[in-house]
């Protein structure tokens, strides 16, 4: 043994910064350098003559003996075999170690040099880096959930899952909060808490974040907890509760990240509440719009019935009597026939005007597609004109599923646009196109006429055609565009599907 210790390698090991021991074939320590006293907390002289396995935890002895024996026997092995092991200090405290086993041939028998590096600080640093990376990734997932969620029913489960799956918490809950304190659980993730001690040990009034570093031995399922208020419009509406298995899990860095996450979630709750208020206002406006449209249609129908039953019938009777009067005057007073003819022409003109009025007032039938309705309207408007008109699309069955108010607004505005083409455009052609999508209805009317004069969109006393079209479309929440068609004008009406 003395001859083996004379090997020059031991002179190098005496000054090494890494703990090193040399063992004989039986695993007995025959050499320990000065650094072993620092690493193992035992004097180097106290290790010599002792089994190497005393430096290992009891549960790992069998595996180490097998590795040591194999390494000592492999004399041709490269001297860089590294192992990740757990070592034991003299006071019994275990620590992670990186071990290099190097066979050392001697004249008597092969020895084994065991170099041991305490990697506790490195492991702690790696653990801190992993924890911090996990925290930032968890925060990113929470931010992603906040951005993607449309309501609390989607948001709350997502933030709980992110906290457990990515954040590593043993449990997460969102608990409703009201004037009387905590309410029902709105969402949860992770293993259910087996006792009530965790909740009882982490009471919170919901106004400020609460962190409990150690819940005590009674909380068998968790050791530390966090309760973070989730606010909307300045009031706490819920608390986000996170539970960890180890005491002191919520260090200052994590607390700041969680406070920021709770603020982000609260902004989402503000957004949800604002959206709910907006949706309620839009629903109310839509309901009022439907009532207004229904009232207008009822009034139009009443006026049309009155005009048809009284005015049109009366004019028809007047026309018949004028015809009879003309025949009498042709014999008795021929010089008055011309006056009767002019009067008869005036009556016919008034009747034609009433016919157009009835066209404008007629109800929009629900069983006819919008394309067919506009085709009939164009046939009426261009009946006595030279405009060559056509519908570009075939009827779409989805047109029958349009809301009554949407159909009515589309027909009224399109009729006004067609009348403008007939009266003012001096056009040779006109086209009509109806497009239905899942989100909206679009009606496009184009002509090749003279186009719109500057300022034509501004209302003129007695002429509110375009202004009335725009008012109707705006009230329906849609869009009216009047654009040059090169030549002519393109009128596009887009109405949202309710």
Local confidence band at 391 (pLDDT 50, 70, 90 cut-offs): very high
Please give the average per-residue pLDDT across 147-168, as a whole number.
Answer: 90
Residue 452 has pLDDT above 60, yes or no: yes
**In a domain? residue 474:** yes
Of residues 3 and 195, more confidently modeled: 3
| 164 three-class SS | helix
Local confidence band at 397 (pLDDT 50, 70, 90 cut-offs): very high
Please give the average per-residue pLDDT across 27-54, as a whole number.
Answer: 90
- According to the model, what pLDDT value does residue 140 have? 86
DSSP 335-392: GGHHHHHHHHHHHHHHHHHHHHHHHHH----TTS-HHHHHHHHHHHHTTTS--EEEE-
- According to the model, what pLDDT value does residue 61 have? 44
| 256 three-class SS | helix
Interatomic CA distance for residues 220 and 213, integer angstroms: 14
**Token code pair at residue 184:** 């029902």
Please give the average per-residue pLDDT across 172-180, as a whole number.
Answer: 89
Local confidence band at 66 (pLDDT 50, 70, 90 cut-offs): low
Please give the average per-residue pLDDT across 27-34, as a whole number.
Answer: 91
Last residue of a domain, one of 272, 294, 325: 272
**In a domain? residue 14:** yes
Same domain (yes/no): 189, 232:
yes
Please give the average per-residue pLDDT across 318-339, as a whole number.
Answer: 78
- According to the model, what pLDDT value does residue 442 have? 96
- According to the model, what pLDDT value does residue 431 have? 95
- According to the model, what pLDDT value does residue 462 have? 46
Percent share of the chain, pLDDT over 90: 30
- According to the model, what pLDDT value does residue 86 have? 86
Per-residue b or e along 423-451, where b marks 16 or more CB atoms closer than 10 Å to that residue's CB = ebbebeebbbbbebeeeebbbbbbbbbeb
CB-count burial class (<10 Å; 0-12, 13-18, 19+) for 287: exposed
- According to the model, what pLDDT value does residue 77 have? 47
Which domain CATH number covers 78?
A: 3.30.450.20
- According to the model, what pLDDT value does residue 372 have? 93
Percent share of the chain, pLDDT over 70: 84
Same domain (yes/no): 139, 234:
yes
pTM attached to this predicted model: 0.55
| 282 three-class SS | helix
**Token code pair at residue 68:** 């040591």
- According to the model, what pLDDT value does residue 198 have? 47
pLDDT, tens digit, for every residue of 111-143? 888 899 998 888 888 877 787 787 888 888 888
What is the domain count for the chain? 3
Please give the average per-residue pLDDT across 209-214, as a whole number.
Answer: 88
Last residue of a domain, one of 118, 142, 161: 118
- According to the model, what pLDDT value does residue 311 have? 73
Angle of helix 252-306 versus helix 404-420 axis, rounded to 10: 60
CB-count burial class (<10 Å; 0-12, 13-18, 19+) for 297: middle
Query: What range does the domain containing 137 cover?
Result: 125-272
**In a domain? residue 303:** no
Report the range of poorest mean pLDDT among 85-89, 209-213, 236-240, 330-334. Answer: 330-334
Please give the average per-residue pLDDT across 404-419, as a whole number.
Answer: 90
- According to the model, what pLDDT value does residue 429 have? 95
**In a domain? residue 341:** no
Same domain (yes/no): 153, 227:
yes
Which domain CATH number covers 468?
A: 3.30.565.10
Residue 312 has pLDDT above 70, yes or no: no
Same domain (yes/no): 10, 131:
no
Local confidence band at 494 (pLDDT 50, 70, 90 cut-offs): very high
Local confidence band at 461 (pLDDT 50, 70, 90 cut-offs): very low
**In a domain? residue 235:** yes
Of residues 76 and 352, more confidently modeled: 352
Local confidence band at 268 (pLDDT 50, 70, 90 cut-offs): very high
Same domain (yes/no): 135, 266:
yes
The pLDDT mean for the chain works out to: 82
Residue 195 has pLDDT above 60, yes or no: no
**In a domain? residue 186:** yes
Same domain (yes/no): 113, 145:
no
Residue 1 has pLDDT above 70, yes or no: no
Same domain (yes/no): 101, 198:
no
Same domain (yes/no): 103, 189:
no
Residue 456 has pLDDT above 90, yes or no: no
- According to the model, what pLDDT value does residue 229 have? 93
**Token code pair at residue 13:** 């090991």
Reduced DSSP (H G I as helix, E B as strand, rest coil) percent helix, strand, coil of the chain, to 5: 50, 25, 25
Same domain (yes/no): 131, 79:
no
Same domain (yes/no): 258, 138:
yes
- According to the model, what pLDDT value does residue 32 have? 92
How many residues are recorded in the chain? 498
**Token code pair at residue 333:** 């007073």
Stretch (H or E) spanning 416: helix 404-420
Local confidence band at 396 (pLDDT 50, 70, 90 cut-offs): very high
Local confidence band at 266 (pLDDT 50, 70, 90 cut-offs): very high
Local confidence band at 332 (pLDDT 50, 70, 90 cut-offs): confident
**In a domain? residue 380:** yes
Same domain (yes/no): 25, 87:
yes
Which domain CATH number covers 214?
A: 3.30.450.40
- According to the model, what pLDDT value does residue 232 have? 92
Last residue of a domain, one of 89, 118, 147: 118
**In a domain? residue 312:** no
Residue 497 has pLDDT above 80, yes or no: yes
Same domain (yes/no): 474, 410:
yes
């Amino acid at each position: 043994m003395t001859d083996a210790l004379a090997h020059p390698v031991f002179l190098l090991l005496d000054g090494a910064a890494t703990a090193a021991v040399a063992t004989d074939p039986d695993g007995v320590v025959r050499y320990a350098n000065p650094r072993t006293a620092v690493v193992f907390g035992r004097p180097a002289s106290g290790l010599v003559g002792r089994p190497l396995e005393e430096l290992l935890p009891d549960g790992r002895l069998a595996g180490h003996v097998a590795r040591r024996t194999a390494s000592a026997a492999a004399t041709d092995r490269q001297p860089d075999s590294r192992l990740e092991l757990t070592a034991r200090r003299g006071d019994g405290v275990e620590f992670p170690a990186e071990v290099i086993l190097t066979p050392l041939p001697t004249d008597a028998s092969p020895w084994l040099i065991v170099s041991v590096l305490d990697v506790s600080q490195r492991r702690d640093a790696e653990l801190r880096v992993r924890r911090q990376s996990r925290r930032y990734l968890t925060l990113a997932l929470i931010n992603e959930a906040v951005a993607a969620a449309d309501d609390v029913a989607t948001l709350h489960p997502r933030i709980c899952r992110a906290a457990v799956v990515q954040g590593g918490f043993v449990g997460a809950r969102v608990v409703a909060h009201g004037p009387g304190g905590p309410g029902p659980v709105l969402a949860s993730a992770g293993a259910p808490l087996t006792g009530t001690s965790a909740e009882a040990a982490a009471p919170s009034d919901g106004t400020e974040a609460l962190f409990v570093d150690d819940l005590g031995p009674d909380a068998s399922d968790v050791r530390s907890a966090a309760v973070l208020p989730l606010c909307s419009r300045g009031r706490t509406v819920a608390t986000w509760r996170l539970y960890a298995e180890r005491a002191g899990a919520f260090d200052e860095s994590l607390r700041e990240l969680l406070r920021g996450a709770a603020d982000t979630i609260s902004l989402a709750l503000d957004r949800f509440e604002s959206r709910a208020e907006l949706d309620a206002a839009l629903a109310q406006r839509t309901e009022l719009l439907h009532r207004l449209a229904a009232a207008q249609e009822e009034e139009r129908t009443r006026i049309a019935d009155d005009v048809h039953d009284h005015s049109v019938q009366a004019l028809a009777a007047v026309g018949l009597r004028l015809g009879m009067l003309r025949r009498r005057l042709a014999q008795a007073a021929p010089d008055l026939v011309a006056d009767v003819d002019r009067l008869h022409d005036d009556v016919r003109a008034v009747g034609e005007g009433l016919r157009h009025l009835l066209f404008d007032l007629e109800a929009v039938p629900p069983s006819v597609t919008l394309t067919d309705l506009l085709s009939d309207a164009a046939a009426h408007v261009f009946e006595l004109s030279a405009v060559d008109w056509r519908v570009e699309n075939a009827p779409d069955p989805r047109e029958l599923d349009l809301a009554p108010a949407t159909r009515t607004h589309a027909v009224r505005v399109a009729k006004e646009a067609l009348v403008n083409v007939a009266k003012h455009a001096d056009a040779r052609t006109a086209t009509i196109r109806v497009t239905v999508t899942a989100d909206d209805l679009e009606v496009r009317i184009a002509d090749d006429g003279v186009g719109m004069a500057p300022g034509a969109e501004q209302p003129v006393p007695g002429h509110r055609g375009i202004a009335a079209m725009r008012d109707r479309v705006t009230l329906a929440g849609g869009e009216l565009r009047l654009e040059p068609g090169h030549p002519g004008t393109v009128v596009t009406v887009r109405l949202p599907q309710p």
